[in-house]
Amino acid sequence: MKQLILILTLFSITLGNAQILDPVKWTTSVEKQSDTEYVLITKATIETGWHLYSQNVPEDGPIPTTFTYDDSAGQFKTSGNTSEDEGHTVDDPVFGMEIKFFENTATFKQKVKVEDGLTSIHGVVEFMVCDDSRCLPPTEVDLVFNLSTDKASVNSIEVVENGEQPTKKEYSQEGLWSIFFIAFLSGFAALLTPCVFPMIPMTVSFFTKQSKNKAVGIKNAIIYGICIIVIYVLLGTAVTGIFGADALNALATNVWFNIVFFIILVVFAVSFLGAFEIMLPNSWANKVDSQADRGGLIGIFFMALALAIVSFSCTGPIVGTLLVEAASKGGLAPIIGMLGFSLAIALPFALFAAFPGWLNSLPKSGGWLNTVKVVLGFLELALAFKFLSQADLVLQAHLLEREVFLAIWIAIFGALAFYLFGKIQLPHDSPLTHISVGRLSLGLVVLSFTIYMIPGLWGAPLNLISAFPPPLEYSESPYGVGYSKLGTASALETHEGLPDGAHLLAPHDILAFNDYDKGLAYAKKVGKPVMIDFTGWACVNCRKMEQNVWPKPEVLNILKNDVVLISLYVDDKRPLEANEITESKLKPGKKLKYIGQKWSELQTLKYKANSQPFYVLMDHNENNLLDPVGYTPNVEEYLSWLQTGVKKFEKE
């Protein structure tokens, strides 16, 4: 079941465009060790952004990479198991287990002993490949190892693309812009803390007074801002360089790392709330400050470094959180994150130096700065439980299930609302004689958010924060408190018993078929159009559609009453019946052995697409009523697609 959830989670398709994806290319070569001993080498070249699973995957995990060597003629014997590269091992929250995968390239080696006269060895590799938003069905590729030469070619599936797919570069740019924007906002928040904000007028005044003229003061202040950016970007570069982007990605999803980071964030949060101050050693600041007196570019650089050290108690927790979040994206994300963060801090110094008159418009330092720091402390505390939840999901300890997580968040944000309303006082707060309009407005927003989360305790999906709490199924009551599967008018009552081959798709009680022919026959019997749902057990985007889009009343009404749903799982590993085993049309000479292969080939041949989810509305003659669609999180768009198809069927 977990297998299916992962595949479904990662499956998606570019809307409106059918496409066949082939992100892994296989090549083979041979190393001769003696006249009778060889090493068969298989190399996978993986497109950027995709990853290939290891041969060693725990039970109920994703589909592992599997090698089979044809020794039916008895002319060779394998020695040991097929070895593989080190790869990356992560604690996957979807499966709740450690899973190893490969990116960019992967090399597999198998030692064999052969008899004289053998010139080639044939094999098959079965694998599943995924990227950040989709997975492809399990695929088999024929391998040929030519023992008479050093190299051999690979027979791979030829694919026909229909429609263009955004390149990984475009996806990466979108992700990096998102990191940059979040980091910039975080830098702005850090700017409004007691450690940084008072430094703006002090530093700008220093540069303008110590410089020979205004132009020199502006130049020095701009250099100062650039030095701030350089220092933080160097930090991001150092983190990436020391650990490596891939190592950071694996580290960020490691269960023990998540637990340690939870503890660190709690410590930082308690510090922000005023229990104590976290500071770097004073000796560091003194040594750096002494270098700032040297003047020139070096002196300005050390002034910027002194600011970074002195303000660490306020910026450290934010920088640490940013680095971990960015590290989980891999690549240049930590560097881009630090660029956005430092730019937000550096800009005011340069701008106020250029326009010193603006300093008069700055609010005076005071208790409001500590309020900003306390608010950040509450946010850090809430975020800490996200990391603890991640660890709990991986361990499947069920200590922090959805209801418990939401109860903690409700308590945290409820306390924050009381704080903003002046009902809670913390150690470094100034006496509060009145509540400003801004503070009151923020308090009302936080209180509204707190109230919004409360129905989640009883099974509400809470789409606004769906990325933070554990999934609905990781809950004391997965279907919601008091939910009765047959408590309302269900498909059982509507159809007076389940037709042959049908079942109720929980939790919405949609009558569904997993067999194409039986579903089509039933649709003809009741006079309704067919909706084919090409899906997978481990497809996250499929689950998102089923949990966030299908339950909407208008959509659910159509799925339950106006169409016949046929869900075809392309990763179904159950064997086909003997009379259903046929030769593959995509790979002549190969037999379709599993149910999922049958549905995957149907999707590829008929619709020129091989990623999921993929939805088709068709009539009883198996003609499309309108163009198929893929992952469509916009409810109105998906509803319009359903309504258009149903209306067209009714007119026929």
- Going by C-alpha positions, the residue among 543, 545, 541 that lies closest to residue 555 is 545
Return the higher-pLDDT residue of 463 and 149. 463
Question: In this structure, what is the dihedral angle of CA atoms 538, 540, 543, 547, given to the nearest 10 degrees?
Answer: 150
- Of 362 and 646, more confident: 646
What's the start-to-end Cα distance of the chain, in Å?
39
The mean per-residue pLDDT over the stretch 154-178 comes to: 43
Confidence of residue 249 (pLDDT cuts 50, 70, 90): very low
What is the structure's pLDDT at 232?
80
Q: Which residues of 317-326 are buried (b: 16+ CB within 10 A; e: fewer)?
A: bbbebbbbbb
- pLDDT above 80: residue 20: no
- CATH fold, domain 491-651, is Glutaredoxin (3.40.30)
Average pLDDT over residues 308-316: 66
Contacts of 427 (CB under 8 A, 6+ apart): 274, 275
Confidence of residue 16 (pLDDT cuts 50, 70, 90): very low
Question: Are β-strands 510-513 and 564-569 bridged in parallel, bridged antiparallel, or unpaired?
Answer: parallel
pLDDT score, position 497: 63
Q: In what order do the strands lie in the sheet with 139-146?
A: 66-69, 120-127, 139-146, 154-155
Q: Is 550 exposed, middle or buried (CB count within 10 Å of its CB: 0-12, 13-18, 19+)?
A: buried
Q: What is the Cα gyration radius of the chain?
A: 30
H/E element, 68: strand 66-69
pLDDT surpassing 60 at residue 61? yes
For residue 321, the model assigns a pLDDT of: 64
pLDDT of residue 452: 94
Q: Within the chain, how many helices (H) and strands (E) appear?
A: 19, 19
Q: Tell me the pLDDT band of 649, cut-offs 50, 70 and 90.
A: very high
Give mean pLDDT, residues 547-569: 90
Q: Which comes out higher in pLDDT, residue 493 or 277?
A: 277
Question: What's the rounded mean pLDDT across residues 343-347?
Answer: 83
Q: What is the average per-residue pLDDT within 372-387?
A: 84
Q: What's the CA gap between 524 and 547, in Å, rounded? A: 28
Give per-residue pLDDT as tens, 269-297. 888 787 776 655 666 555 655 555 555 67
> Sorting pLDDT into bands at 50, 70 and 90, what band is 631?
confident
Q: Is the pLDDT of residue 419 over 80?
A: yes
Q: Which range among 29-33, 41-45, 287-291, 475-479 shows the weakest confidence by mean pLDDT?
A: 287-291
Do 481 and 401 form a contact (C-beta atoms < 8 A)?
Answer: no
Please give the pLDDT value at position 201.
67
Per the CB < 8 A criterion, the answer to whether 124 and 85 are in contact is no
- Condensed to tens digits (0 to 9), the pLDDT of residues 444-477 reads 999 999 999 999 888 787 878 866 787 666 777 7
Computed over every residue of the chain, the mean pLDDT equals 75
Percent of the chain clearing pLDDT 90 (strictly above): 14
Higher pLDDT, 501 or 624: 624
- The Cα 133–Cα 612 span in angstroms is 10
Q: Express each pLDDT in 504-547 by its tens digit.
A: 765 577 888 988 889 999 999 999 999 999 887 656 577 678 87
CA distance 5 to 3: 5
User: CB neighbours of 386 closer than 8 A, spacing ≥ 6?
Assistant: 468
Residue 84 burial by Cβ neighbours in a 10 Å radius (0-12, 13-18, 19+)? buried
530-535 and 564-569 beta bridge pairing: parallel
Taking each helix axis from N to C terminus, what angle separates 245-252 and 214-243, rounded to the nearest 10 degrees?
70
pLDDT at residue 563 in the model: 93
**How confident is the model at residue 42, as a pLDDT?**
92
pLDDT score, position 471: 67
Name every residue whose Cβ is closer than 8 Å to that of residue 23 and which is 6 or more positions away in sequence.
46, 47, 50, 129, 131, 136
Which of 134-148, 278-292, 638-652 shows the lowest per-residue confidence on average (mean pLDDT)? 278-292
pLDDT at 366: 57
Out of 2.60.40.1250, 3.40.50.970, 1.10.1060.10, 3.40.50.300, the CATH code matching 2-155 is 2.60.40.1250
Residue 150 clears pLDDT 80, i.e. is over it: no
Q: Which residues is 144 bridged to in the sheet?
A: 122
Lowest-pLDDT choice from 45-54, 220-229, 291-300: 291-300
Q: Are 120 and 144 in contact (CB under 8 A)?
A: yes
> Looking at 113-122, 162-171, 207-216, 353-362, which range is the least confident one?
162-171
Q: Which two tokens stand for residue 523?
A: 């649709």
Q: Which of 576, 445, 444, 430 is nearest to 516 (CA)?
A: 576
Q: Between 268 and 76, name the one with better pLDDT.
A: 76
Q: Which residue has the higher pLDDT, 130 or 466?
A: 130
Between 15 and 408, residue with greater pLDDT: 408
* pLDDT at residue 23 greater than cutoff 50: yes
Query: Using CA atoms, how far apart are residues 69 and 38, in angstroms rounded to an integer?
Result: 14
Q: Can you tell me the mean pLDDT for 17-45?
A: 81
Residue 75 has pLDDT above 90, yes or no: no
Residue 486 is predicted with a pLDDT of 39
- Choice between 446 and 20, residue whose per-residue pLDDT is larger: 446
